[in-house]
Chain A
Amino acid sequence: MSQGKFAHSLGIRHLVCGSCNGCELEMNALAAPQYDVSQEGWGIVASPRHADVITVTGPMSDAMRHAAQLTVEAVSEPFVVVAVGDCASGDGVWCEAGSAGPGAGRELEASIFVRGCPPSPDALREGLRAAATLLDGRKS
């Protein structure tokens, strides 16, 4: 487990790119007292400019592509993109649909892929911890 600074201070911006909302339900569950990640200093931030981590779900819908790219461009280094769920990871149920891409995490060059349809809150917490570890390695 990461012991660096990011382990206790992670600003998360969440991007939904054609998800079914199941992944969002489990991301929201992280705020339940059973997990309560705010106690670890993690939270959803109001702007990509404040973010250390971009979590992304869905196969990447055509309509979201541009806004998603702008969001990632707005984040300052160091940051990590985390693909949440099978759709974002590239082999979810929607990855071959009409106006969907091959996984939003693949398009946005995610470094971490949290698998599951949807991933459990425990898996999500592990994924975010791994992101903190990566960030601690990258920080200048």
Chain B
Amino acid sequence: MANNYRERPVALGELRGAVDELISNALPLGCYASQRTVRTIFLSQTGPLGLRTVLGEGEKWESLARRYPFFSYHEREMQALQGIDVQSSPDERPLYFSSDAIPEAIVAEGKGISGVVVGPVHAGIIEPGRFTISTGGESVVHIDAQLSYSHRALEPWFEGQEALALAPRVARICGNCSVARSWGYARAIEELAGVDLDDGTEFARLVLAEMERVHVHLFDIGSIAAGAGYDRGTTAALGLRERICQLNHLVSGHRLLFDSVVPGGVKAGILADPEIIRTTLRELRDDVARFCDALLAKRSLLRRLEGAGVVERSLAQRFAAVGPSGRASGIACDIRAIAPYGAYRGFAFSEELAGGGDVYARAELRVREIARSFDFLERGLRELEGRRLPTPRQVEVAAGVITTVVEGARGAESISLALSATGRIERLHVISAAYRNWPLVTRAMEGNIVPDFPLVNKSFNLCYSCVDR
């Protein structure tokens, strides 16, 4: 595939105007710095577009987040890691910290307001985050989410490493979006090198990505049931998900499909018997459908889900929401539909949307998306029958700068990569769907009762590891 990432230079003084112009018809993907060069990235109709702004010595970045709050994390990151001086930022706290300098939470003040702090360690098997909840009576007035407890300074450490050898690490930036991220990374290297892949490999990648989506969506639906206190639903969802994990192991040798997509192709020997996989998936599909129908017919459960954690469409738009959480608020943001890649190009695909923006909408949308994934799997596996998948191609790594975007289970996953002529990483910047959606979780809670926090939080079920890196 040719590299369809484009970039154009935009002087600092003209950047605001350029962003104003683009934002109404392109999906903003964020901004990031490589030394003193900042790229503001959009997904336009013709593919990813970067606005390249070079900051002179002593020049300061004028905060975009003041007008477009979506950029807040991105700007706080480049201030913390690349030392870019961000002017008039709405939130000046460093995005990353060490144990001895944890930023103070922002809390609401006023008569009758009190506070609760939970985390970073939680009473569950969940990643670390500190939530400072300001309450008025039982209602939440404001939540401050302090993430970054899993920050390992991965991106600076990646610099100078060999791009091809880094693939297993990229697959482990986050366990929930491993296939999607590996695919985005492989595409970045392949598109820079001008490598074309055979159809079989592209279908195999699609199948692997959809298997990941099904196991993550099932996990998320189970988590919503847990948040509502319906343990039986959680156990059943985990049981169905386990069957996918066992199938993952059978087809790839790894229960979470790590390392199944690699630069130049897919892992050798993978998906060797598409017929068996199809049969297993058909049985699973019926059981999943039965389970989901029963779950969403449960009135006592629905009473918890409906009207909880509403994200209005306008709010979702302001924060450029992605993934099921964006689509549940009516935002068209499925990368498989708006910027199809790989084998998705051959499918007529219109994305699933909902309007309610509440926990119910986020649950019900995932149920529909699982059904669509099974359709993809059926068709993708049929394409694979009788084909022998080639072993991964040798890729001659080429220098350049690129951004790729794929649709992971939780939304748009982007990889921004700069490679040297010797095949080493000059810059690798990973922005996940979770990074984009976190600010929504806290806003969705405003006006809700405190005990609904686990429920609303789980209806997004965002990862931390790919946010913190």
* Interface residue tally for chain A (C-beta within 8 Å): 49
A62 to B154, CA, bound (A): 13
Tell me which of A2-10, A94-102, A106-114 binds B. Answer: A94-102
Q: Does B463 contact A (CB under 8 A)?
A: yes
* Interface residue tally for chain B (C-beta within 8 Å): 47
A98 to B155, CA, bound (A): 9
Residues of A near B120 (CB, < 8 A) are 64, 67
Q: Does B360 contact A (CB under 8 A)?
A: no
Residues of A near B148 (CB, < 8 A) are 63
A19 touches B127 (CB 8 A): yes
B245 to chain A, nearest CB (A): 7
B465 touches A66 (CB 8 A): no
A32-B239, A47-B123, A58-B150 given; A22·B172 CB < 8 A: yes
A120 to B238, CA, bound (A): 15
Q: Does B156 contact A (CB under 8 A)?
A: yes
B255 touches A26 (CB 8 A): yes
B176 touches A63 (CB 8 A): no
A52 to chain B, nearest CB (A): 15
Residues of B near A94 (CB, < 8 A) are 152, 154, 169, 172
Interface positions of B from 119 to 158, Cβ below 8 Å from A: 120-121, 123-128, 148-154, 156-157
Q: Does A130 contact B (CB under 8 A)?
A: no
A61 to B151, CA, bound (A): 6
A63-B151, A71-B121 given; A34·B242 CB < 8 A: yes
| Chain B residue, CB-CB nearest to A48 | B121
Q: Mark A22-35, 1 if CB is under 8 A from B, else 0.
A: 11111111011111
B168 touches A14 (CB 8 A): no
Q: Does B235 contact A (CB under 8 A)?
A: yes
Contact of B152 among A34, A47, A59 (CB under 8 A): A59
B219 touches A61 (CB 8 A): no
A20 touches B172 (CB 8 A): yes
A35 to B234, CA, bound (A): 14
Residues of A near B238 (CB, < 8 A) are 28-29, 31-33
Q: Does A15 contact B (CB under 8 A)?
A: yes
A24 touches B239 (CB 8 A): no
Most buried by B among A20, A25, A65: A20
Secondary structure class of chain B's binding surface, majority of residues: loop
Tell me which of B34-42, B64-72, B93-101, B440-448 binds A. Answer: B93-101
B125 touches A33 (CB 8 A): no
Q: Mark B431-469, 1 if CB is under 8 A from A, else 0.
A: 000000000000000000000000000000001110010
B465 touches A62 (CB 8 A): no
A129 to chain B, nearest CB (A): 18
B128 touches A16 (CB 8 A): yes
Q: Does B398 contact A (CB under 8 A)?
A: no
A21-B175, A29-B242 given; A64·B128 CB < 8 A: yes
Q: Does A118 contact B (CB under 8 A)?
A: yes
A29 touches B245 (CB 8 A): yes
Contact of A67 among B121, B173, B176, B236 (CB under 8 A): B121
Q: Does B208 contact A (CB under 8 A)?
A: no
| Chain A residue, CB-CB nearest to B469 | A97
Interface positions of B from 223 to 266, Cβ below 8 Å from A: 234-236, 238-239, 241-242, 245, 255-256, 258
List 26 contacting pairs A-B, 8 Å CB cutoff, sorted by A.
Answer: A15-B121, A18-B465, A19-B150, A19-B465, A20-B174, A20-B175, A21-B175, A21-B463, A22-B175, A24-B175, A25-B176, A32-B241, A33-B235, A34-B239, A58-B150, A63-B97, A63-B98, A63-B102, A63-B151, A68-B121, A97-B152, A98-B152, A98-B156, A99-B153, A100-B153, A117-B172
The 6 nearest A-B residue pairs measured at CB = A98-B153, A22-B175, A66-B99, A32-B238, A100-B152, A46-B123
